[in-house]
């Protein structure tokens, strides 16, 4: 019986993996210029971490977690997102004691959610995210947003839209929460079961319901922006003014609530407006989570971050038809004629590779003509041909495949000659 790949997962094969690597390079290079350092946390965590901190009423916790009991009878969960784990690590490793605050971190790794797979939605996907923990300066909110917009710009995306909202602080949220309950309660019987159970637990999430999106009460629901207290309003205005100063266009959507419980103040999503991108248009989501660090037993350190999946970034790139300049040409292919020359290329190949030259030889016992064909297939820039005669005379024939020029050079000068020629290309 053959075994297939699990639903909602994918193999990333050579040919595509180079695109991932390029995007990862772009993202990590930009993180370096912004002074964010990489953090790697485990793939699984105690289930409690997500239950308590992503939120018990969220879809992620209620329906989507890959939870299992290990042989020591512990309940563990494959991480559905990165923020909770990064904050756990921040607290556990006492990063709040670092004199360099805020602590600026980025991560890149697989996340797991038991969702209904469709285009742009997987059960295993790779999130690239950042978290800046330890500052409540609206300028850091703007920095985080500018960082992700820079990544998208460098990846070649043009058709993207940043949508922001403020969820306010505790006091503003409480006032808004009461207004929402008063608004929905009289007619809650007309809403879906999820919304009914959210009314008391988390009425904000009603605004995010897909099923009842068209209900009249949704359109007239009280806006959080009318309930922001002075501090929250000023904070949000500052974030907006920094975004304007950075030339980052944005729209405000007071119904943007996000699907995780830890957010307050700034919340945002970045959408693709590329035609043919598919039904799910959200590329990136994030926001501020003051209170999460203290909830995990740390000091009262505020935080903000975002995450996007590499899968959706790639899909947006394809939908926009961005040209890729992937350079996967080989530097040098070694062609050998005769047994002795073939044996000699084992060491010669290694010498080239030690100098950083991308090199290859034949392992299929091919004839000379077929070796040249193989060199063509991998788009070799140079082909070096070694026959028995050349080997005896300590020489090798070097052919530039672009110009067709050939020359015979001393065998021990192959590496240095190639290095010079490749640099001139
Ligand atoms: P999230 O909105 O749940 O936020 O996910 C962020 C991003 O992950 C989405 O915008 C999307 O690009 C990607 N994503 C989510 N689920 C899937 C899926 N099933 N398949 C493919 N891509 C997916 C968070 O996870 C927060 N931790 C973000 C954050 C960081 N907030 C503050 N810091």
Concatenating the DSSP letter of every residue in 204-238 gives GGGGG-STTTT-HHHHTSPPGGGG--HHHHHHHHH
Read off the pLDDT band of 280 (50, 70, 90): confident
How confident is the model over 258-276, as pLDDT tens digits? 888 899 999 999 999 998 8
What's the 272 CA to ligand 1 centre distance in angstroms?
14
Kindly report the average pLDDT of the chain as a whole number: 95
Residue owning the nearest CA to atom 13 of ligand 1: 309
Read off the pLDDT band of 170 (50, 70, 90): very high
Read off the pLDDT band of 204 (50, 70, 90): confident
Task: Name the phi and psi angles at 115, rounded to 5.
Answer: -110, 170
What's the 80 CA to ligand 1 centre distance in angstroms?
9
What's the 99 CA to ligand 1 centre distance in angstroms?
30
Residue to mutate, 285, 308, 314, ligand 1, most ligand atoms under 8 Å from C-beta: 285
Establish whether 127 is an annotated binding residue.
yes
How confident is the model over 285-310, as pLDDT tens digits? 999 999 999 999 999 999 999 999 99
Establish whether 131 is an annotated binding residue.
yes
Residues 6+ apart with CB under 8 A from 392: none
Establish whether 82 is an annotated binding residue.
yes
How do 359-361 and 332-336 pair as beta strands?
Answer: parallel
Establish whether 329 is an annotated binding residue.
no
Establish whether 81 is an annotated binding residue.
yes
Quick one: which atom of ligand 1 is closest to the CA of 313? 12
Establish whether 113 is an annotated binding residue.
yes
How confident is the model over 31-71, as pLDDT tens digits? 999 999 999 999 999 999 999 999 988 899 999 999 999 99
Buried b (16+ CB within 10 A) or exposed e, 123-134: bebbbbbbbbbb
How confident is the model over 56-67, as pLDDT tens digits? 888 999 999 999
Q: For a pLDDT cut of 90, what percent of the chain falls above it?
A: 89
Residue owning the nearest CA to atom 18 of ligand 1: 121
Establish whether 361 is an annotated binding residue.
no
Q: For a pLDDT cut of 70, what percent of the chain falls above it?
A: 100
What's the 262 CA to ligand 1 centre distance in angstroms?
14
Q: How far, CA to CA in Å, does 339 sit from each of 224, 342, 345, 347, 361?
A: 78, 5, 10, 14, 14
Residues with CB under 6 A from ligand 1: 81-83, 113, 115, 121-122, 125, 127, 129, 131, 259-260, 282-287, 305-309, 311-312
What's the 282 CA to ligand 1 centre distance in angstroms?
9
Residue to mutate, 66, 106, 277, 309, ligand 1, most ligand atoms under 8 Å from C-beta: 309
What is the pLDDT at residue 46? 98
What is the pLDDT at residue 259? 84
Read off the pLDDT band of 157 (50, 70, 90): very high
What's the 258 CA to ligand 1 centre distance in angstroms?
10
Q: Which helix (H) or strand (E) holds 269?
A: strand 264-272
Q: Which domains are seen in the chain, by residue range?
A: 17-169+229-320 (3.30.930.10), 332-420 (3.40.50.800)
pTM for the whole structure = 0.92
- Does the pLDDT at position 324 exceed 90? no
């Amino acid at each position: 019986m053959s075994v297939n790949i699990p639903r909602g997962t994918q193999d990333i094969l050579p040919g595509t993996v180079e695109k991932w690597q390029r995007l990862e390079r772009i993202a990590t290079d930009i993180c370096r210029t912004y002074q964010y350092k990489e953090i790697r946390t485990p793939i699984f965590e105690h289930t409690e971490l997500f239950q308590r901190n992503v939120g018990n009423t969220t879809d992620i916790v209620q329906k989507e977690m890959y939870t299992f009991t290990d042989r020591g009878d512990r309940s563990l969960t494959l991480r559905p997102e990165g923020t909770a784990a990064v904050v756990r690590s921040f607290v556990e490793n006492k990063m709040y004691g670092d004199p360099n605050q805020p602590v600026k971190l980025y991560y890149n790794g697989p996340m797991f959610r038991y969702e209904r797979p469709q285009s742009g939605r997987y059960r295993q996907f790779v999130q690239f995210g950042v978290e800046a923990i330890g500052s409540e300066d609206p300028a850091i909110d703007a920095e985080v947003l500018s960082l992700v917009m820079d990544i998208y710009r460098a990846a070649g995306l043009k058709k993207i839209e940043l949508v922001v909202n403020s969820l306010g602080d505790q006091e503003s949220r409480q006032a808004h929460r009461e207004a929402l309950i008063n608004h929905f309660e009289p007619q809650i019987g007309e809403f879906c079961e999820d919304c009914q159970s959210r009314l008391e637990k988390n009425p904000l999430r009603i605004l995010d319901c897909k099923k009842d999106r068209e209900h009249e009460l949704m359109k007239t629901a009280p806006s959080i922006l009318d309930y922001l207290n002075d501090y929250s309003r000023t904070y949000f205005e500052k974030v907006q003014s920094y975004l304007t100063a950075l030339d980052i266009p944005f729209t405000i959507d007071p119904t943007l609530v996000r699907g995780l419980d830890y957010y307050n103040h700034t919340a945002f999503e970045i959408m693709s407006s590329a035609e043919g991108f598919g039904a799910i248009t959200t590329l990136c989501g994030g926001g501020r989570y003051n209170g999460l660090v203290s909830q995990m037993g740390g000091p009262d350190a505020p935080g903000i971050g975002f995450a996007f999946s590499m899968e959706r970034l790639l899909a947006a790139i394809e939908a926009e038809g961005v040209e890729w300049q992937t350079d996967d040409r080989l530097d040098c292919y070694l062609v050998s004629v005769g047994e002795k020359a073939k044996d000699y290329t084992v060491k010669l190949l290694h010498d080239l590779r030690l100098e950083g030259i991308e090199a290859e030889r034949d392992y299929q016992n091919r004839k000379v003509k077929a070796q040249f064909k193989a060199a063509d297939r991998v788009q070799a820039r140079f082909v070096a041909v070694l026959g028995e005669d050349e080997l005896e005379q300590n020489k090798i024939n070097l052919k530039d495949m672009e110009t067709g020029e050939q020359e015979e050079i001393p065998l021990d000068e192959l590496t240095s000659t190639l290095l010079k020629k490749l640099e001139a290309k």
